[in-house]
Structure 1
Amino acid sequence: MTPRHRRPVLVLTNPYDVTADVVLRVLAHRRSPVVRLDPGTDLHTGASLTASFRTDGRRGTLRTPSRELDLTEVGAVWVRRASPYEGPADLDGQERRFAASQSVWGAGGILASLPGAHYVNHPWANRAAEHKPAQLAAAQRSGFAVPDTLVTNDPQEARDFVALQRAGAVYKPVWNTPYSVDGEPRAVWVRDVRAQEITDAVRACPHLFQARVPKAYDARVTAVGDRLFGVRIDSPDLDWRHRQDLMTCTPIAVPEPVARSVADYLGHFRLVFGAFDFAVTPDGSWSFLECNPNGQWAWQPPETTDRIAHALADELQRGPDA
């Protein structure tokens, strides 16, 4: 049996994931065995995945053009930013959709069921924690301060809610769905909204409206297990992601009540990693905005990025879960 700290780490991500590269360099320096796989594409370009289930146990093998991995030996799986399962490019229409669906349930099911592997995070935990209404419900239970929020496809409900917010209200999408205009990709940013702007088009789908927090600054808390890394974000924009070249980030301590709520929140969704966003008011109150269970973090100050990378490497070298 391979020692716990020497068991292979399986990293599921696309080849352009520079955030994953930061951690992989740490693992390489530690001489930790790593296999990188983008199942949505690699399984159509020379890689193969096999699993067998028998009364006397299970077996599994991942073969790539350069190596072979016994899946029962995998110590940890880092679920990062793998490409979607879209089916082989040489198939069309129904056949490609069928292959894509079978890949989700077949390959995705194998990779989510490795015996004893430590997942950061488990893909099903990620999926459960990605829904914003579920995040807000969990944040309330965990003791976070949560801005008044409405999710609705009723235009009048939306107008009435927005009109009641004394400090103003914002709109944000419930999911970052790819969107383009004339073939050019566009991002839907958080934006201020007034009651008179809300039209009956709201009926098309649920929209999220939220009381605007009179913030002094934003804060990001990156959680890796029980280790928290906080930064203060100062930006001229309502949504600091809009023009990141204009924002400044400074390491900041995480208040103990917030840290306790973070731990409770992670436990609720069975997450190891989470990227929490807060709005901090002039009196020092932290309001929960969202938690991305697979958020980016390598844009933070170099010392913070380095500490997060080492914390993730430590987590991935823990070995199989009990």
Structure 2
Amino acid sequence: MILLWGHPEERPFAQVLRALHARGADPLVLDQRRPMTVTSGTVRTAGASWNLAGVTAAYLRPYDAARLPAVTRSPARTALTRYARRAAPALCAWADHAPALVVNRPSASATNAAKACQGLLVEAAGFAVPPSLVTDDAQALAEFAGEHGAVVVKPGSGIRARVALADVHDPGRMARLATCPTFFQRHIPGEDVRVHVVGDRTFAVRLASDAVDYRVRDAALKQSTVELPGDLPERCVALARALGLVVAGIDLRMTPEGDWFCFEANPAPAFTFFAGADQVAEAVADLLHAHRPSS
């Protein structure tokens, strides 16, 4: 049995589900918006129950269900929130120890919630990582910028936020730094490449933009699928495996001098934003379908 857990209307989830249906698969879909219980290895929802021991492959894209609009706007939101907060830890514990193929195990995904920590692991796997600093000290930041030049401020956790150039000469901003340790990196000029790793396959997209963060809504962005040069495909697969990830979205940047830097490896990539999304969804579906029980 193939299991999918998350929000069925979320685009990557929906695209993988469609690809599985196209292969004749009928996966168990656990919708976070619905009441659910998990006890003694059995999940119950929508008036039915399934033994998780029968799961051979799982694709996990859970959100904080207590914050989903379908839950917060429901007249039964209190009950739904209670179900979600009990079911999610149980499913995560199962996913970390199940003998099934799990895309991805929660424990392996955790490093993305601490970017400085993940950066050390990425560097240990052989990729160049920009010099980084986590600080609440304006003087330390000024010294860092004096050594490295332009500096960007970016989220240090798994919460999505805009990457921007840091103005280390703004007294107001520097005064606020003392209220919260913040993650900074040396700004690396160059061209962005997003690499989706699915098992031992890679799918690369070149992202041409003048913006510091190409994800900004009004950024002019041109995307094109590309082939990675040299041994980069193998290195990306090796990085994902070193992090314990079956599927990953790896953010690279090639400098004008031809050097490659790695910013992060996302364990739950929103691949539908990128060119070539259909191929990524098909590859994920192939991976899950290959682990279905033999008839």
Shorter-normalised TM range: 0.7 to 0.9
Query: Which amino acid in structure 2 is aligned with residue 13 of structure 1?
Result: G
Whether 1:318 aligns to 2:293 is no
Against the structure 1 CA distance between its residues 161 and 295, is the aligned structure 2 distance closer, same or farther, given a 3 Å change threshold? Answer: same
Structure 2 distance, partners of 1:305, 1:104, is 28
What whole-Å deviation, never above 9, does each CA across 1:85-131 have from its counterpart, x for those lacking one? Answer: 5797236xxxx78x7654443343245443x2110111121123432
Q: Work out the number of aligned pairs and report it.
A: 284
Describe the SS at the equivalent of 1:135: helix
Cα deviation, residue 48, structure 1: 3.6
Whether 1:151 aligns to 2:134 is yes
2:55 to 74, 82, 86: 74
Structure 1 distance, partners of 2:128, 2:30, is 39
Cα deviation, residue 221, structure 1: 0.5
Whether 1:89 aligns to 2:77 is yes
Structure 2 distance, partners of 1:100, 1:239, is 33
Describe the SS at the equivalent of 1:255: coil
Cα deviation, residue 176, structure 1: 5.3
What whole-Å deviation, never above 9, does each CA across 1:247-267 have from its counterpart, x for those lacking one? Answer: 111111113343343233222
Cα deviation, residue 245, structure 1: 6.5
Counting only pairs closer than 5 Å after superposition, residues 235-274 of structure 1 correspond to structure 2 as: 235-243=209-217, 246-274=220-248
Is contact 2:15–2:281 with CA below 8 Å preserved after alignment?
Answer: yes
Q: Structure 2 length as normaliser, TM-score?
A: 0.86
Cα deviation, residue 76, structure 1: 0.7
Describe the SS at the equivalent of 2:78: coil
Describe the SS at the equivalent of 1:246: coil
Against the structure 1 CA distance between its residues 90 and 81, is the aligned structure 2 distance closer, same or farther, given a 3 Å change threshold? Answer: closer
Q: Which residue does 2:93 correspond to in 1?
A: 109
Against the structure 1 CA distance between its residues 111 and 210, is the aligned structure 2 distance closer, same or farther, given a 3 Å change threshold? Answer: closer
- Bigger CA radius of gyration: 1
In the alignment, structure 2 segments of 5+ residues that lack a partner are none
Query: Which amino acid in structure 2 is aligned with residue 240 of structure 1?
Result: Y
Structure 2 distance, partners of 1:236, 1:137, is 28
Cα deviation, residue 299, structure 1: 2.0
In the alignment, structure 1 segments of 5+ residues that lack a partner are 1-7, 52-59, 178-186
Structure 1 distance, partners of 2:196, 2:104, is 14
2:163 to 180, 190, 193: 190
How high is the sequence identity, in percent, across the aligned residues? 28
Is contact 1:142–1:262 with CA below 8 Å preserved after alignment?
Answer: no
1:208 to 180, 183, 196: 183
Q: Which residue does 2:207 correspond to in 1?
A: 233
Against the structure 1 CA distance between its residues 104 and 133, is the aligned structure 2 distance closer, same or farther, given a 3 Å change threshold? Answer: same
Describe the SS at the equivalent of 1:209: strand
Query: Which amino acid in structure 1 is aligned with residue 176 of structure 2?
Result: A
Structure 1 distance, partners of 2:66, 2:97, is 18
Describe the SS at the equivalent of 1:275: strand
Is contact 2:240–2:265 with CA below 8 Å preserved after alignment?
Answer: no
Structure 2 distance, partners of 1:228, 1:108, is 27
Query: Which amino acid in structure 2 is aligned with residue 190 of structure 1?
Result: V
Residue range with higher mean Cα deviation, 225-234 or 261-270: 261-270
Whether 1:174 aligns to 2:156 is yes
Is contact 2:7–2:13 with CA below 8 Å preserved after alignment?
Answer: no
Describe the SS at the equivalent of 1:313: helix
